[in-house]
Amino acid sequence: MAASDKKKPGFIVETVKTIVYALLIAGVFRTVFFQPFWIPSGSMKETLLIGDFLFVNKMAYGYSFASCPSVRIASLGIDIDAEDLCGFLKGGNERILGREPERGDVVVFRHPVTGRDFIKRVVGLPGERIQMKDGVLHIDDVPVEVRDDGVFEEVVEPQGPGRVRPRCENGVVGQGGICEKSRQVEVLPNGREHTILNIETRSTDNTGVYTVPAGHYFFIGDNRDNSSDSRIPQTAGGVGFVPYENLVGRADRILFSSGGTSLFAFWTWRGDRYFKKIE
């Protein structure tokens, strides 16, 4: 028997061990430190664009059952939810090494009903009264500062893997045309500023008063007329109030951004979004 044949079983075992160790390390890294996230919708434009790829900082708010990764690969029939792995940690609305989010943070969280990952901005803290009046956010009956900031423009074309076309304030725009949205700068009570977009007057621009329960948060998308968020109750298919334990982590910086249907379509990567800080 050749020497190479004697070594073959050992080589296979070592290869398998290496792969297993690599997967374990990757699993620990994703569970404890950072989780990759690809922006699938336009609800956070222009802060986040469809195709932005970022890592979510899981250390920002400590750990709960939501910190465990979900693994969903539809083509392989794999659908493992974080609750399947760490459901024993759910309940009590508490976190290990927990820290509170700050108003203005852009956060990935688990939808309280569906368990799917969402990304929105924290605008309401526990105990506060939140209301929208004529498209302006009010916190404890006080309107936040809003100032006009020109027009947001983008080319009308299919975006992301869902091939979704943007909605425009300047009406129905054909393929290749320029889609416009009113842009404003919103200044939160703690001084943090970010841009918001508006398209039209909708029911979510004028709401009742929402009193945020203890241990919960109120989230809104920056693309105000194209976002399902806490302004819509869970009973109506929205997000409603989000429990503290459902927070996954904070989005701090975009790694890169793909304008195509796939992350790997490097020829469509946007040159102005590498390592861009998320405000």
Domain boundaries, the chain: 9-268
How many whole angstroms separate alpha carbon 147 and alpha carbon 216? 29
φ, ψ of residue 26 in degrees (nearest 5): -65, -40
Nearest CA to 247 among 39, 24, 94? 94
Residues 241-264 have a mean pLDDT of 92
Nearest CA to 159 among 143, 179, 129? 179
- The residues annotated with a catalytic role in the active site are 43, 120
At 32-82, the pLDDT tens digits run: 578 889 999 999 999 999 999 999 999 999 999 999 888 777 777 888 888
With bands split at pLDDT 50, 70 and 90, how would you rate the model's confidence at 160? confident
**10 Å Cβ neighbour count for 79?**
11
pLDDT confidence of residue 268 = 87
Share of the chain above pLDDT 90, in %: 70
Top-level CATH class of 9-268?
Answer: mainly beta
Q: What is the DSSP letter of 96?
A: B
pLDDT confidence of residue 15 = 54
Question: Integer distance in angstroms from the first to the last C-alpha of the chain?
Answer: 65
With bands split at pLDDT 50, 70 and 90, how would you rate the model's confidence at 16? low
Q: What is the largest CA-CA distance in the chain?
A: 84
Share of the chain above pLDDT 70, in %: 89
Residue 11 has pLDDT above 70, yes or no: no
How many whole angstroms separate alpha carbon 86 and alpha carbon 88? 5
How does DSSP assign 195-232, residue by residue?
A: EEEE-S--GGGS---EEPPTTEEEEE-SBTTS--STTS
Tokens found for residue 66: 């939501």
With bands split at pLDDT 50, 70 and 90, how would you rate the model's confidence at 18? low
Nearest CA to 188 among 220, 225, 233? 220
pLDDT confidence of residue 21 = 44
Average pLDDT, the chain: 89
How many whole angstroms separate alpha carbon 252 and alpha carbon 212? 25
With bands split at pLDDT 50, 70 and 90, how would you rate the model's confidence at 14? low
